[in-house]
Chain A
């Protein structure tokens, strides 16, 4: 690695956002108090499916401090259904159920009162007469038909696409060995500690709807405007609101349309802050629930030649972004492996469960789980070491750029070296010996590994791939930089953040290019009406996209400053050198113009400016995603994300056979996300991703009972990993720069999460393999695993 390549980039610098947070001075949506704000509580459907026969609001409306009760009929009459991205007009999604409610917890009415407590009280006084309807919870049953969640749609299928990339039949025929696996990714989500919240305020004289929200979503202002049937220029989203965690799910469009409507209807500011139950049950923020049937064709050496994968996604009652989460993994469908051909069938069905939305990795973590389970099973069948199997199948460093069957070219990587670096720190033989010692002590112990990719950059052409009516090939982000008359620098970003340290990212990149201390670069977030386009922090893209936009905007200013200096020095441009904010003559270095001079010329001395130059020092750049701008071809091939980070997980678990609870004894990670702009941020993201992955693998599930009631409604039932459940992890960094990005950076917003569940599942399976059992359903709960182990032991004893 070239250590002197950058001055501020990759340096171990503090994260500027942290100062306000340690003092409790973040500005979260619940901290915003607009005068005369009224509060909303929602009334929810207690049935898995029901016709709404009548709503009696009279008792609630008589209560002091209660201003309004809104029902689905009024709202549906005044607004358009929410945008979904699919051509499924008979599956309309609305903030409040209209005529029929389709999952337990779906919002049926909204109460507006002076306080949240009064609104909740009044909600209990609303009498709703329901006629319970048949319902379906299981994806396979929903696929088969029978009960239809949306009668008018004619089936429960929202999406069913079959892709064949390469000679799948030929490769399967030629391969001497095949292996089938059924893997299930359970219904979990990111569940931020801050629930979703929104404050909406309407000014009828300016015709302006002000929105403050805990949001992370592309086209948020557009979607509000369209649904409310007002110009998008009448919606002003304030991006300087700190978001208390999101990891994909903070997409409260239904909350926002509801509050926007009420604010306009009632004439005072309206605020809805979900409580935890609303968040978990009716917040429409569940993650993938996906059933995979996969078959791989391989040879006696363990080389995997081809794969057939069917993914069946239970998206819940309505189409959020979730169906598209079947699309993103197409851009890394073979993971880091040289699988030559793939058949992929992606099916999304509706059921009577809470609606799903985008979750960290956008469907990639479940796909990675399947690939990694396959690799371990191939090794097992052949009696080979799982590490050796991976080494044989991984793409080699000298094979990049590497084109995968589904049409995406991977930018760069050095997978074997990353693995070697992890193994230098962890003697693999010693780890095996440690496992075997635990086994000798009566524990079930297992080693798990996962070699996974993190597609990054957020080029969402999977939309066009799954819905040909969509022709979007533009995925951009922007930055504007202004150097004021006193020489101080302000850079802008045009979206919210939820802990990713974007202000630090922006300051660092601008400081790097202009050769000024990043701490002296002010970063602001103009509101949506003053903003340039942003794709928002999805798809692990901001280091690449906001970093790229900032880099180019700063370069424009550097070029302008250099030209101003050269002109004032009376030298040709090629002789001018920009260094630390000063422009000097290459041949006569004592001849120079410092920062103050350059700023003075630009702002006050037009007579000294080069001819044709605009006065002032401002620049903006709207940055298109690298390698983007192409639509899918007729065979369903397309370049998806530009950059691919790599992570290699290696861990040892120990399971007390009587308890069935896996405990992580050792955890090592090799991580390569190219150039790290801020190593503290990258490490935090990665550790947080591992913790989240541990949750998805072992603890977290939105479980439903047979009546269609969600039974994990609190943090006592939906278990988030605490500091006890997350082990110390040794992270070994490697840096393979991306050729496509301005600083060689790749994404890391989803790192850790994309491989941890797979590695843990592999470790548990290694631990229980001796009992002739396996488990391929996540989360692997202690209760399930304990019973499985007890059953296997019983069977062995009886033999």
Chain B
């Protein structure tokens, strides 16, 4: 079937099987490899993308269901080749990852959280990432990355002399 899919601001007409998941469509049809398959039953969160700004599991929905909505992947929040967003930079600063497999999803969850809540508490950060399993880090440095990113974003948005 033919669908119009808007990914990272660009709308494309694609021919997909009705049973194709959004995850498979992003990875196989659009060659956006930043979303990863972990469990393919909606528990681990490695496939997370933003669906109209909300973090969702791309393994649990069909590509056809995403037609008409704005999908943002990790490729869409990366400012440019070799350039990191403030949130991505914060993950590097705290080493909020190890193997990197769950990382794009964690970064997207952080983007969604901080867009809604610029001053999250530790508990709110823990809650926000609780649907994303990381097997490497025990989460501490991920929580710190998001807290650091929030702090820096608040600083960036304040007038210079009040920082």
Q: Which residues of A contact B (CB under 8 A)?
A: 14-15, 17-26, 28, 30-31, 33, 117, 190-195, 242-247, 273, 275-276, 498-501, 680-681, 683-692, 714-716, 720, 722-724, 726, 728-729, 752
Binds A, one of B38-46, B61-69, B153-161: B38-46
B138 near A726 with CB under 8 A, answer yes
3 tightest A-B CB contacts, nearest first: A24-B34, A21-B100, A499-B99
A688 near B36 with CB under 8 A, answer no
Docked complex Cα distance between A715 and B60 (Å): 14
A-B contact pairs, 19 of them (CB 8 A): A24-B74, A28-B36, A117-B17, A194-B38, A244-B101, A245-B98, A245-B136, A247-B135, A680-B95, A680-B141, A684-B98, A684-B138, A688-B138, A714-B39, A715-B39, A716-B41, A720-B133, A723-B127, A723-B130
Docked complex Cα distance between A464 and B44 (Å): 40
B30 adjacent to chain A (CB < 8 Å): no
B98 near A499 with CB under 8 A, answer yes
Q: How far is the CB of A594 from chain B (nearest CB, A)?
A: 30
Docked complex Cα distance between A21 and B102 (Å): 9
A729 near B92 with CB under 8 A, answer no
A28 near B101 with CB under 8 A, answer yes
Docked complex Cα distance between A724 and B91 (Å): 20
B94 adjacent to chain A (CB < 8 Å): yes
User: Using Cβ atoms and an 8 Å threshold, which residues of chain A touch B78?
Assistant: 23-24
> In the complex, which residue of chain B has the Cβ closest to the Cβ of A692?
B135
A193 near B98 with CB under 8 A, answer no
B5 adjacent to chain A (CB < 8 Å): no
Contact of A724 among B27, B103, B126 (CB under 8 A): B126
Q: Which residues of B contact A (CB under 8 A)?
A: 17, 19, 27, 31-41, 43-44, 46, 73-75, 78, 84, 88-89, 91-95, 97-104, 107, 122, 126-127, 129-143
A25 near B141 with CB under 8 A, answer no
Q: How far is the CB of A121 from chain B (nearest CB, A)?
A: 10
- Interface of chain B, main secondary structure: loop
Q: A18-B95, A276-B40 are in contact. Are A688 and B137 (CB under 8 A)?
A: yes
B138 near A687 with CB under 8 A, answer yes
Q: A23-B78, A24-B74 are in contact. Are A245 and B43 (CB under 8 A)?
A: no
- Interface of chain A, main secondary structure: loop
B141 near A687 with CB under 8 A, answer yes
Most A CB atoms within 10 A — which of B44, B94, B137, B140? B140
User: Using Cβ atoms and an 8 Å threshold, which residues of chain B touch A194?
Assistant: 36, 38, 46, 99, 101
A684 near B100 with CB under 8 A, answer no
Q: Besides the contacts A243-B99, A498-B99, A684-B141, what 15 more A-B pairs have beta carbons closer than 8 Å?
A: A15-B95, A22-B103, A28-B101, A31-B33, A194-B46, A245-B99, A276-B39, A276-B41, A499-B99, A687-B139, A691-B139, A692-B138, A716-B43, A723-B132, A723-B142
User: Using Cβ atoms and an 8 Å threshold, which residues of chain A touch B122?
Assistant: 728
Docked complex Cα distance between A100 and B94 (Å): 51
A193 near B134 with CB under 8 A, answer yes
B43 near A499 with CB under 8 A, answer no
Contact of A728 among B31, B39, B140 (CB under 8 A): B140
> In the complex, which residue of chain B has the Cβ closest to the Cβ of A20?
B100
A21 near B140 with CB under 8 A, answer no
User: Using Cβ atoms and an 8 Å threshold, which residues of chain A touch B99?
Assistant: 21, 192-194, 242-246, 498-499
B138 near A689 with CB under 8 A, answer yes
Docked complex Cα distance between A243 and B98 (Å): 10
User: Using Cβ atoms and an 8 Å threshold, which residues of chain B touch A191?
Assistant: 135
B100 near A244 with CB under 8 A, answer yes
B44 near A22 with CB under 8 A, answer no
User: Using Cβ atoms and an 8 Å threshold, which residues of chain B touch A273?
Assistant: 37
B41 near A752 with CB under 8 A, answer no
Docked complex Cα distance between A303 and B109 (Å): 52
A684 near B103 with CB under 8 A, answer no
B75 near A24 with CB under 8 A, answer yes
A245 near B139 with CB under 8 A, answer no
Docked complex Cα distance between A275 and B47 (Å): 14
Q: How far is the CB of A278 from chain B (nearest CB, A)?
A: 11
> In the complex, which residue of chain B has the Cβ closest to the Cβ of A190?
B135
Docked complex Cα distance between A362 and B136 (Å): 17
Most B CB atoms within 10 A — which of A190, A689, A724? A724
B138 near A242 with CB under 8 A, answer no
Docked complex Cα distance between A425 and B8 (Å): 48
A193 near B92 with CB under 8 A, answer no
Docked complex Cα distance between A685 and B99 (Å): 11
Contact of B137 among A117, A243, A687, A722 (CB under 8 A): A687
A26 near B101 with CB under 8 A, answer yes
B139 near A726 with CB under 8 A, answer yes
Docked complex Cα distance between A500 and B136 (Å): 9
Q: A18-B91, A243-B99 are in contact. Are A715 and B44 (CB under 8 A)?
A: yes
Q: A680-B95, A684-B98 are in contact. Are A192 and B35 (CB under 8 A)?
A: no
